[in-house]
Amino acid sequence: MLIDKRMLIGGAIMIAVGFTISWYLAESAPIGKANMTDDEKLNLILAERENSDFRLLSGILFGFGFLLILISFGARKKRKGGAKKIEKKPSE
């Protein structure tokens, strides 16, 4: 078979997990409010930075999953008893 099924399934799982984490982080993004104190502003900036970093990591996970799927189409096992090359002796 031309497709390595384990790599294909692993890549699909990585894409699903990466997409799910990205969606969750987008939905739970920190939001500021009016009249925030300096400590609240600092905490908001840190929370936004943390959220951004996690979104980057989930994007990397998504990318590796996609890469695994692409590799799975070209990765196939070699057969032990596959076709053998037959050489003919030149006729004289």
DSSP assignment of 22-79 equals HHHHHHT-----SS--HHHHHHHHHHHHHHHHHHHHHHHHHHHHHHHHHHHHH--PPP
Reported confidence tier of residue 79, pLDDT bands at 50, 70, 90: low
Query: Rounded to a whole number, what is the distance in angstroms from the first to the last CA of the chain?
Result: 42
Reported confidence tier of residue 74, pLDDT bands at 50, 70, 90: confident
Domain-by-domain residue ranges, the chain? 5-74
80 pLDDT higher than 90: no
Reported confidence tier of residue 66, pLDDT bands at 50, 70, 90: very high
- Angular region, 12: left φ>0, alpha ψ -120 to 50, beta rest: alpha
Instruction: List pLDDT tens digits, range 40-49.
Output: 999 999 999 9
Instruction: List pLDDT tens digits, range 22-60.
Output: 999 999 988 889 999 999 999 999 999 999 999 999 999
Give the three-state DSSP class for 86. Answer: coil
